[in-house]
Chains A and B, each alone.
Chain A
Amino acid sequence: MTDGSIWSVAPLVLLGLAAILAMVLAPIQPTPRVRIAAALPMALAVIILLARLGAPEAPVSMLLADDGMARLGSALAAAAGLGILSFTRTICTGREGPALVAIAAAGGVALASANHGATLFLGLELTTLPMVALALMPRTEAAVEAGYKLFLIAGVGAGALLMGLVFGFGASGSLRLDAWSVDGPVAAIGLAFVLVGLSVKFALVPFHMWSPDLFAGAPAPVGAIAGSISKVAVAIAALRIGLSLPAPEIWTLGLLLAGGAAVILGNLAALRQDNLLRMLGYSSIAHSGYIALVLSVGGELMGETVLVYVASYAPAIVAAFAVAGLMGTGTRLEDLRGLAWSRPLAGVALGVALLSMAGLPPAVGFVAKIYLFSTLAGEAAWGPLVIAAIGSALGFAYYLRFAVRIFTAPRQPAPRATLNRADAVAMAASIALLITLGLYPEPLTSLVAASLP
């Protein structure tokens, strides 16, 4: 256990500590104080991760990888966790909310640095089960139903992942991801099962059914976790698998089919949505589709594109959900009218988030779009390029439909609701992140280039 490896496992330990602290303090302290107790170790974990970005690799064991991808992924997951903590209010997620969010963040970190079948499976489950629990917390009928749907489909997904690991283990005799051999039917079937397992968590078509209902029914933090922590972690796990296996056909073909379908279906369905959360759900499916397309196309820019895309999507989705959490789960299009004038910070935060997701210049989403299209064009993958182009066009339509509504004149002067400080900080931080990176993308691009082999 050299001190390097201690530092490498420190973030996971800190997150676990945060979860335990939150669980212990939950019954005796009021939730805001619990949240702070959970937030401190998580913040420390994020700082350590960012500090060690350049440090030499020191994996603590074969289970957890410690390369740049893992560190950046974990940092994003932990940061997203911090963001989500800021709007986990007692009314919608009960006293155990912060604890569950901390567990989910720990799961995300584990999944992002999973190098072994076991950590892959554990990480996946650690992110899913807290989401189910969180979804059930409000005990309303819709929340329970959303929770149940997520529980069942995720359970089936976990089963499929396990079958994949079994077949992989059977074929190659080892559960280490980079040791998997690709030839032979057993390995191929194993890979198919693993792909299905990940696609469920990634919400690619046809395994996406749980996602819109969860986003709409469950409280805001759940959707935020699904949108940011789990998406980031799964994307990096899939990236690691993709990078370590020498060009498996089923993997790329599967991703291509599922990703393409996700882009088309996600955007089409989102076009007519009036409910903000359901629209975000479907658009999250579409964004997973874009990442899947990039993973299927491959090429030397793949790693950078996935990381930049994920890094630009996470703050946007957290900001969007922070505002959604403030506005309540049933916010329809009309409720957003004049939001920028009645609640300036929330309005601008949601507006900038939507602009970034649509990929328009001032926000960092534009840089992500540039990377996406240059990768697809670079590899002359005309099919995915056309699909992505149509997807973005449709994306403009529904994102701007909501964004424009925010900046229209308010019908009646809505009361200026007070934001609690944590919310305000989260929104301000995400706006700053999205805009500065959008205008001056240099730090992000150099960070990402450094973290890839």
Chain B
Amino acid sequence: MGLSLQILLPFFGGLAVLFAPRFGRDYERYGTIAVMALTLLVLIFSALNGDSGRWLQLVQADWAPSFGIQVLLAMDGLSAAMLAISSILGIVCVFISWEVTHRSAMYHAVICWTVAAANGVFLAFDLLVFAFFWELMIIPAFLLIGLWGHGNREHAAMKFLVFNAVAGLGLLAAVFWMGATAPEITFDAFVLSEAGYSTPVQVILLLGFALAFMVKLPVPPFHAWLPDAHTQAPTAGSILLAGLLLKTGAYGLFRFPPLLFPEGLMAVAPYGMALGAFGVVYGAILACGQVDAKRLIAYTSIAHMSIVLMGVCGGVHFALAGAGVEMIAHAFSSSALFLLIGALQHRTGTRDLRELGGLQKTAPAFATSFAVFFAAALAMPGTANFLGEALVITGMFQVNWAFAAIALVSLVVSVVYATRLIGAIVFGKPKSETAVFEDLKPYELWPIIALGAGTIVFGLFPQVLIGWLRPAIDAALLPLGVGAP
């Protein structure tokens, strides 16, 4: 029961929040926080007394047997982590958009629905339901960018929609084909995983799935939508986009290819890693050349997620563990960076690095929090990002030294763009915009502290995180015939 609550609670919570302003000022904000907190509690409750087998919780119920669709939700360590992140980010979004007043009821409802759709993706194991939630996820994000964005938000929202919708087609085609050709029409992932397709068929199906995941991940050359989406999205939008939607791509890659198409994945893995490697370097170099702060962080996300792609395609215990940790670490660090840049833009009205600077003098709290996430951005040991990248590099050393070398290059280039970012914002003499700059308000500071704690704690004591991901990693590696390291 706990699992379906994960999806229904935010969904109906969103509906309730729509009508919340009638009861009083800011009730929609408190309502959303309550909904998210409740979802988190339910998650923790169901994760704690989950059984010790492969799945913490498994829910199976018929929805439309004549068409072979069923409600099949399963949760293990990995999806539990993802669900926790989605709820936490939900709360963070509410905190930082405390001053959003333009249609704020709808705004908070959309946040709830994004979380609901993402939770659906993290839980669904019936392929059709998974594809359904995958497509559903685009709509609230589209609304978030389209209605509450800055500048030319329509262009960015449309680009986001076209990219993801077209990619979704690949996933839908593969799912429908698998469902139709199964002996008796079913979309159950576990049944289909024993379907025993021949390798070429597996490769084609895998490409269908991979197309959807890679666009959402995003990995070059499918990444063109991310910078625009981030620059035009409101702060909460960027956080949900970076913290949540990117993770669904990574989660998808982590979960389904090894489960459904092991041989296909083995065949495609080298190309996947090559693409990931290219993405890492390309993202990093592009990040150095950016003028707009949010666009810079968007390109860093591309670099980090390409590392996740390399990790997932590595097919080795370390690589997958690294990919899992990097996913979670990136969720924390990039959301915090977007939050800070959002706060910055809210006060100075600009994100252009050439017009910012000197915040150390005027806003020390902002500067110190920026320093923490500057360290996370360049994967300083002691932050979870370093752990993720180090594990992926160890995995790559076991697989192919060239990819390991390229991943190491990313460590170096990350310093270049990180120092450029902090140099332009925190160092230097205060310019006209940043002269008067009141420091972070409590409702902005608390999320920062939460995210910072998350990065540092998981960086110093990764045992909790790795323990959570272990069952998912072992299961992902089993079909690939890769025993434990």
Contacts and interface: CB of A to CB of B under 8 A. Distances in A.
B53 interface: no
Nearest to A446: B66
A441 interface: yes
A445 interface: yes
B442 interface: no
Nearest to A370: B67
Contacts of B63: 440
Interface in A389-448: 440-442, 445
A445 B62 CA distance: 15
Interface string B395-408: 00000000000000
Nearest to A439: B64
Interface string B269-284: 0000000000000000
A359 to B, nearest CB: 16
A445 B66 CA distance: 9
Interface residues of A, number: 4
A452 B131 CA distance: 36
Contacts of A441: 64, 66
B151 interface: no
Interface string B36-71: 000000000000000000000000000111100000
A126 to B, nearest CB: 37
Contacts of A440: 63-64
Nearest to B66: A445
Contacts of B64: 440-442
A441 B65 CA distance: 10
Nearest to B62: A442
Contacts of B66: 441-442, 445
A445 B63 CA distance: 14
B360 to A, nearest CB: 53
A441 B64 CA distance: 8
B68 to A, nearest CB: 13
B409 to A, nearest CB: 50
Contacts of A442: 64-66
B11 to A, nearest CB: 15
A441 B66 CA distance: 9
B326 to A, nearest CB: 39
A442 B65 CA distance: 8
Interface in B170-211: none
A311 to B, nearest CB: 16
Contacts of B65: 442
Nearest to A449: B66
A445 B65 CA distance: 11
B28 to A, nearest CB: 24
B109 to A, nearest CB: 20
A442 B70 CA distance: 13
Highest count of chain A CB atoms <10 Å: which of B63, B64, B65: B64
Contacts of A445: 66
A442 B64 CA distance: 7
Nearest to A445: B66
A133 to B, nearest CB: 44
A437 to B, nearest CB: 12
Interface string B302-322: 000000000000000000000
A445 to B, nearest CB: 6
Interface string A29-64: 000000000000000000000000000000000000
B27 to A, nearest CB: 25
A404 to B, nearest CB: 20
A440 B70 CA distance: 12
A171 to B, nearest CB: 42
Interface in A10-39: none
Interface in B366-396: none
B221 to A, nearest CB: 34
B64 to A, nearest CB: 7
A419 B65 CA distance: 39
B444 to A, nearest CB: 39
Nearest to B63: A440
A440 B69 CA distance: 11
A446 to B, nearest CB: 9
Interface in B250-299: none
A441 B62 CA distance: 12
B62 to A, nearest CB: 8
A178 to B, nearest CB: 31
A259 B64 CA distance: 32
A213 B364 CA distance: 82
A41 to B, nearest CB: 36
A68 to B, nearest CB: 19
A440 B62 CA distance: 11
A440 B65 CA distance: 10
A329 B291 CA distance: 66
A34 B201 CA distance: 69
A234 B65 CA distance: 32
B199 to A, nearest CB: 32
Interface in A173-220: none
A442 B63 CA distance: 9
Interface in A122-145: none
A441 B63 CA distance: 10
Interface in B328-386: none
A164 B66 CA distance: 41
A307 to B, nearest CB: 15
A440 B66 CA distance: 11
B361 to A, nearest CB: 53
A70 B65 CA distance: 27
B260 to A, nearest CB: 27
A445 B64 CA distance: 11
B398 to A, nearest CB: 49
B8 to A, nearest CB: 15
Interface in A209-244: none
A440 B71 CA distance: 13
B146 to A, nearest CB: 20
Interface in A341-388: none
A13 to B, nearest CB: 37
A442 B66 CA distance: 8
A387 B64 CA distance: 29
B71 to A, nearest CB: 12
B272 to A, nearest CB: 36
A427 B475 CA distance: 53
B253 to A, nearest CB: 30
A41 B65 CA distance: 37
B357 to A, nearest CB: 49
B59 to A, nearest CB: 18
A421 to B, nearest CB: 26
A441 B67 CA distance: 10
Given A440-B63, A440-B64, A441-B64, 5 more contacts: A441-B66, A442-B64, A442-B65, A442-B66, A445-B66
Interface of A: 440-442, 445
- Across the A-B interface, give the 8 residue pairs with the lowest CB-CB distance, nearest first: A445-B66, A442-B64, A441-B64, A442-B66, A442-B65, A440-B64, A441-B66, A440-B63
8 contacts: A440-B63, A440-B64, A441-B64, A441-B66, A442-B64, A442-B65, A442-B66, A445-B66
